[in-house]
């Protein structure tokens, strides 16, 4: 039945995350950005919220059912706290969810219980993006070449979170014969797998991401996500785009709320600047864009939840593109509302603007 109200259970989860985001994440976000790292105990606390285990069925060691809707609600709330922290906390899902959607029974049994039962944040990370001005997820340069019962994987990936710590990487590569893109589960320390330098990015600075080189990394055929049937790559990309859309909404909402509250207290010409139409109208547009982006995101998530078979490429693409643009628009407006103060790093809005810009480049960094 048509409704825009989350379930009570979902609302409780969102309230819990928002409380954590406000009380634990926000106070550290500024320093984390300056120091290029979040305090590990904060990431750990985020993991202990149990969002991912609640999304893994009992049969695989979790205690819930997967729901993209629940996950986008959670993602927005986490990103409202801080995007880098959200990406760190959600990192294990970039392996767990693809395994859940597309893994063989054996892969699910091997990997999901480990992640679901992990008391400490489990370092499972994914590698999709590649350096360049135009990355095409359907034509990565990284290749997988079949040789008898194994694959040789070669290429270079970028934006791989926590690569040095990762006990497993899900690397996406193009089959050098068929061109099909699949995921490959690669264990830590595989020969030919080199973790290169940490990257220096415009935003999400508190999230450590790395370049990763694969030089004929040899993996058994059973390590291909989905086995011989291959990976449901389009579906995974849709879950990823929907996740990124939700994160973008979280960033946008943070900036909108901050600018709104600032404008109501900042007095110029004898009145709060929010009482000037030029500012009030900007804030109204921001509110509309945040809501619109959220609705597109929810719709994509709802479609993914409702039908397990479709790819929903158009829906998730629309959601991600819209939310990415909305986040950039809203964070830019927020900087503008704060004027000179917005440009100063003491206020969070310039950080949110830097973070929001990233969504144009991001792909695969989160999966709901």
Partner 1 sequence: MAISFEIPERVLQEREMLKSVAENIMRPESRYLDEHEHQRPHSFIKAMWYVLRDQQAKALQKLTNGEDKPKREGPGITYVRMIVLAEQLSWGDVGQYLCMPAPLLAGSAIEAVGTKEQKLRFLKRFAEGEPKWGAMAMTEPGAGSDTSAIQTTATFDPETNEWILNGEKIFCTNGKLALEESDGIVVVWATVDRNAGRAGMKPFVVEAGTPGVKIGKVEIKHGIRASDTAAIVLDNARIPAENLLGSPEVIQREGTAGFKGAMATFDASRPMVAASAIGVGRAALEFLKEKLAEHGIQIPYGVPYHQLSAVQRDVLEMEMQLKAAWLLTLRAASMLDHGLHNSLEASMAKVKAGKVVTQVTQKAVELLGTMGYSREWLVEKWMRDGKINDIYEGTGQINLLIVARRILGYTSRELQ
Q: Contact between 288 and partner 1 (CB under 8 A)?
A: yes
Q: How far is the CB of 276 from partner 1 (least distance, A)?
A: 9
Query: Which residue in 113, 317, 336, 357 binds partner 1 (CB under 8 A)?
Result: 317
Question: Which of 140-148, 199-207, 292-300, 345-353 is the region at the interface with partner 1 (rule: CB under 8 A)?
Answer: 292-300
Q: Which is nearer to partner 1, 213 or 264 (CB)?
A: 264
Distance from C-alpha of 124 to C-alpha of 112, rounded to nearest angstrom: 11
What is the token pair recorded at 143?
């290749």
What is the token pair recorded at 11?
């609302």
Q: How far is the CB of 239 from partner 1 (least distance, A)?
A: 13
Inter-helix orientation angle 68-81/8-20, to 10°? 20
- The b-or-e profile of 141-167 (16+ CB within 10 A means b, else e) is ebbbeeeeebbbbbbbbbbbbbbeebe
What is the token pair recorded at 170?
């899900």
Residue 22 per-residue DSSP state: I
- 257-276: contacts with partner 1 (CB under 8 A): 260, 263-264, 274-275
Q: How far is the CB of 103 from partner 1 (least distance, A)?
A: 22
Distance from C-alpha of 266 to C-alpha of 277, rounded to nearest angstrom: 15
Q: Which is nearer to partner 1, 40 or 339 (CB)?
A: 339
Q: How far is the CB of 183 from partner 1 (least distance, A)?
A: 17
64, 55 in Cβ contact below 8 A? yes
Q: Measured in whole angstroms, how far is the alpha carbon of residue 34 from the centre of its chain?
A: 21
Q: Measured in whole angstroms, how far is the alpha carbon of residue 121 from the centre of its chain?
A: 16
Q: Contact between 124 and partner 1 (CB under 8 A)?
A: no
Site string for partner 1, 223-242 (x = CB under 8 A): -----------x--x---x-
325 Cβ contact partners less than 8 Å away, ≥ 6 residues apart: none
List beta partners, residue 175.
144
Site string for partner 1, 125-154 (x = CB under 8 A): --------xxxxxx----------------
Q: Contact between 108 and partner 1 (CB under 8 A)?
A: no
Task: Evaluate the CA torsion angle 175, 172, 297, 308 in order and state its sign.
Answer: positive
Q: How far is the CB of 346 from partner 1 (least distance, A)?
A: 24
Q: Which is nearer to partner 1, 174 or 205 (CB)?
A: 174
Distance from C-alpha of 212 to C-alpha of 214, rounded to nearest angstrom: 7
Query: Which residue in 95, 293, 335, 366 binds partner 1 (CB under 8 A)?
Result: 293
Q: Contact between 173 and partner 1 (CB under 8 A)?
A: no
Q: Contact between 349 and partner 1 (CB under 8 A)?
A: no
Q: Which is nearer to partner 1, 14 or 247 (CB)?
A: 14
Q: Contact between 285 and partner 1 (CB under 8 A)?
A: yes
Q: How far is the CB of 274 from partner 1 (least distance, A)?
A: 5
Distance from C-alpha of 359 to C-alpha of 320, rounded to nearest angstrom: 8
Question: Which of 37-45, 184-192, 282-290, 348-356 is the region at the interface with partner 1 (rule: CB under 8 A)?
Answer: 282-290
| Phi then psi dihedrals of residue 140, to 5 deg | -65, 155
Inter-helix orientation angle 93-102/105-117, to 10°? 150
Q: Contact between 296 and partner 1 (CB under 8 A)?
A: yes
List beta partners, residue 127.
171
For 273, other C-beta atoms within 10 Å of its C-beta total 20
Question: Which of 26-34, 167-175, 183-191, 316-324 is the region at the interface with partner 1 (rule: CB under 8 A)?
Answer: 316-324
Q: How far is the CB of 364 from partner 1 (least distance, A)?
A: 12
252, 289 in Cβ contact below 8 A? yes
Query: Which residue in 56, 78, 121, 283 binds partner 1 (CB under 8 A)?
Result: 283
Is-catalytic flag, 34?
A: no
Q: Provide the binding-site residues for partner 1, judged by CB under 8 A.
A: 1-7, 10, 69, 133-138, 234, 237, 241, 260, 263-264, 274-275, 277, 280-281, 283-285, 287-288, 291-293, 295-296, 298-299, 302-303, 306, 313-314, 317-318, 321-322, 360
**Residues with active-site annotation:** 363
């Amino acid at each position: 039945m048509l409704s825009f109200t989350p379930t009570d259970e979902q609302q409780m989860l969102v309230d819990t995350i928002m409380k954590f985001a406000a009380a634990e994440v926000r106070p550290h976000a500024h320093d984390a950005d300056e120091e290029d790292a979040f305090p590990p105990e904060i990431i750990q606390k985020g993991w202990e919220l149990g969002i991912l285990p609640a999304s893994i069925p009992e049969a695989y060691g979790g205690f819930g059912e997967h729901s993209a809707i629940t996950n986008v609600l959670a993602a927005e709330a986490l990103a409202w706290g801080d995007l880098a922290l959200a990406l760190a906390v959600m990192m294990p899902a970039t392996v767990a969810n693809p395994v859940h959607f597309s893994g063989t029974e054996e892969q699910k049994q091997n990997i999901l219980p480990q992640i679901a039962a992990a008391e400490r944040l489990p370092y499972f990370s994914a590698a999709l993006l590649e350096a360049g001005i135009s990355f095409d997820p359907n034509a990565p340069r990284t290749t997988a070449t079949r040789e008898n019962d194994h694959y040789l994987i070669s290429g270079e990936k970028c934006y791989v979170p926590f690569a040095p710590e990762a006990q497993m990487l899900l690397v996406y590569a193009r089959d050098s014969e068929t061109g099909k893109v699949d995921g490959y589960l690669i264990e830590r320390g595989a020969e030919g797998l080199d973790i290169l330098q940490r990257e220096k990015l415009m935003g999400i600075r508190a999230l450590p991401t790395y370049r990763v080189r694969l030089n004929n990394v040899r993996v058994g055929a059973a390590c291909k996500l989905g086995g011989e049937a291959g990976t449901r790559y389009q579906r995974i990309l849709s879950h990823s785009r929907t996740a990124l859309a939700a994160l973008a909404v979280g960033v946008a909402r943070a900036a909108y709320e901050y600018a709104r509250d600032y404008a109501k207290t900042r007095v110029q010409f004898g009145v709060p600047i929010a009482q000037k139409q030029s500012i009030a109208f900007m804030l109204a547009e921001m509110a509309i864009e945040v809501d619109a982006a959220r609705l597109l995101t929810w719709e994509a998530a709802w479609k993914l939840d409702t039908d397990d078979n479709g790819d929903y490429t158009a829906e998730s693409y629309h959601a991600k593109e819209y939310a990415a643009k909305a986040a950039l628009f809203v964070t830019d407006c927020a900087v503008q509302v704060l004027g000179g103060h917005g440009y100063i790093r003491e206020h969070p809005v310039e950080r949110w603007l830097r973070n929001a810009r990233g969504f144009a480049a991001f792909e695969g960094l989160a999966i709901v």
